[in-house]
A = this chain, B = another copy of it.
Amino acid sequence: MKLSILKDDLNESIQHVSKAISSRTTIPILTGIKIDVQPSGVTLTASDTEISIQSFIPIEKEGTAVVAVVEVLTPGSVVLPAKFFSEIIRKLPAPDVTIEVKDNFLTWIRSGTAEIQIVGLDPEEYPLLPQLDESHTLSISSDLLKAMIRQTTFAVSTSETSPILTGVLWNFKQERLKLIACDRLRMASRESHVETANPIDFQNIVIAGKSLNELSKLLPDQSMLVDIVVANNQVLFKMDTILFYTRMLDGTYPDTSKLIPQSFQTELTIDTKKLADAIDRAYLLSREEKTNIVKMTLKDESTVEISSSSSELGKVTEQIEAHKLSGELLSISFNSKYMLDALKVIDSDFIQICFRGAMQPIIMKPEDHSNMLHLIMPYRTTN
């Protein structure tokens, strides 16, 4: 294997696949990045068995003019230690680099005056990526997918006692894609219309929140199409030059629809930012107490009071004007961190909050669309 390649393009590709490198892997070959050189370009692969990322560097790229990125001298493969390879490429002195594999996978890297020899590993030992049946493929805009992940993934459970709840549930039915995340104290759900050429649906696909956060970093902000392939126990996200494979979590995701009350006693519409800022100030105090408990009191039909108190530190109180308020007045306590997390991702100037009483779940929705729903369980307090 021998090639010459532009440093910046190689570096960018290494950064992409490096997100799949785990520092805690027990499989030596997976501490490396696999490099495959074919006449059409260079493919980098990294994996931690949960996720695998593949990035392709074509021999030419198009900009204002066609630029040669890779010159393939001899096709071939090698596995190089990810951390050292990634750092040394970033710090090479010249804009291009030559990589040549010699006997026993000893790899020579030359750039400017620098010459590096890296002990490579046998690419035959590298695990093969799964071959997926692509008949279940959904195409979705990258920016929408990124938003849906951001608006749900924060709510996954971080406790390993119910592994299934550390994932996000994906359902697709009648051209509606729905993502749900919940732990025992809150839930976030987001849905969207997604057109498909062929009628497909899938249920109970659960993907680890951790994996989705890594995927999110690779998704471009523009509205490029991403293909989602669902097959066996794997999901593949296909971007322009990047393939992102992730394992599904085993088990059955609980039915969260039963958690949501069907009727309410009180409905409040309020300015999202004003509420978030007031809760943030009350949260500062409640965090010092390590409870995060903040109280919301509906004082009259136009006044909402946000408060928290600590016997040691003091008290925070603030009144905000309600935009609309109907039904019974009440006072309810909740985890302000959970409320803040939800308010941060609600993409609407006003939100609607529905209550069924001080001991029942709080439901939050954007005022101007019904594609998003957040649920927070109240605290049972005596004051």
Interface residues of A (CB under 8 A from B): 81, 83-84, 87-88, 91-93, 106-107, 113-119, 277-278, 280-281, 284-285, 288, 312-320
> Of A113, A119, A285, which is in contact with the most chain B CB atoms at under 10 Å from its CB?
A113
Which residue in B83, B113, B117, B281 is a CB contact (below 8 Å) of A315?
B117
Please name all residues of chain B whose beta carbon is closer than 8 Å to the beta carbon of A284 when the two chains form the complex. 84, 87-88, 91
Contact A316 B280 (CB under 8 A): no
Complex CA distance for A114 and B114, rounded to whole angstroms: 61
Give the oligomeric copy count.
Answer: 2
Closest to A321 in B: B113
Complex CA distance for A148 and B106, rounded to whole angstroms: 46
Given A113-B278, A116-B281, A119-B314, 6 other A-B contacts at CB below 8 A?
Answer: A84-B313, A88-B281, A88-B284, A88-B285, A93-B277, A117-B314
25 residue pairs A–B, Cβ–Cβ below 8 Å: A81-B313, A84-B284, A84-B285, A84-B288, A84-B313, A84-B314, A88-B281, A88-B316, A91-B277, A91-B280, A92-B281, A113-B319, A113-B320, A114-B316, A114-B318, A115-B316, A115-B318, A116-B281, A116-B315, A116-B316, A117-B315, A117-B316, A119-B312, A119-B313, A119-B314
Complex CA distance for A316 and B106, rounded to whole angstroms: 13
Complex CA distance for A208 and B115, rounded to whole angstroms: 42
Complex CA distance for A313 and B120, rounded to whole angstroms: 8
Which residue in B93, B119, B281 is a CB contact (below 8 Å) of A114?
B281
> Of A107, A288, A314, A316, which is in contact with the most chain B CB atoms at under 10 Å from its CB?
A314
A166–chain B nearest beta-carbon distance, Å: 31
Complex CA distance for A215 and B168, rounded to whole angstroms: 48
Complex CA distance for A61 and B118, rounded to whole angstroms: 61
Please name all residues of chain B whose beta carbon is closer than 8 Å to the beta carbon of A277 when the two chains form the complex. 91, 93
Complex CA distance for A148 and B308, rounded to whole angstroms: 48
Please name all residues of chain B whose beta carbon is closer than 8 Å to the beta carbon of A114 when the two chains form the complex. 278, 281, 316-318
Which residue in B83, B115, B278, B288 is a CB contact (below 8 Å) of A83?
B288
Contact B91 A281 (CB under 8 A): yes
A189–chain B nearest beta-carbon distance, Å: 30
Please name all residues of chain B whose beta carbon is closer than 8 Å to the beta carbon of A93 when the two chains form the complex. 277
Please name all residues of chain B whose beta carbon is closer than 8 Å to the beta carbon of A119 when the two chains form the complex. 312-314
Given A114-B278, A280-B91, A281-B91, A106 contacting B318 (CB threshold 8 A): no
Complex CA distance for A329 and B106, rounded to whole angstroms: 31
Please name all residues of chain B whose beta carbon is closer than 8 Å to the beta carbon of A285 when the two chains form the complex. 84, 88, 116
Please name all residues of chain B whose beta carbon is closer than 8 Å to the beta carbon of A84 when the two chains form the complex. 284-285, 288, 313-314
Contact B318 A113 (CB under 8 A): yes
Please name all residues of chain B whose beta carbon is closer than 8 Å to the beta carbon of A281 when the two chains form the complex. 88, 91-92, 114, 116
Contact A115 B288 (CB under 8 A): no
Please name all residues of chain B whose beta carbon is closer than 8 Å to the beta carbon of A83 when the two chains form the complex. 288
Please name all residues of chain B whose beta carbon is closer than 8 Å to the beta carbon of A106 when the two chains form the complex. 314
Closest to A107 in B: B314
Please name all residues of chain B whose beta carbon is closer than 8 Å to the beta carbon of A87 when the two chains form the complex. 284
Complex CA distance for A341 and B87, rounded to whole angstroms: 19
Closest to A307 in B: B115
A253–chain B nearest beta-carbon distance, Å: 37
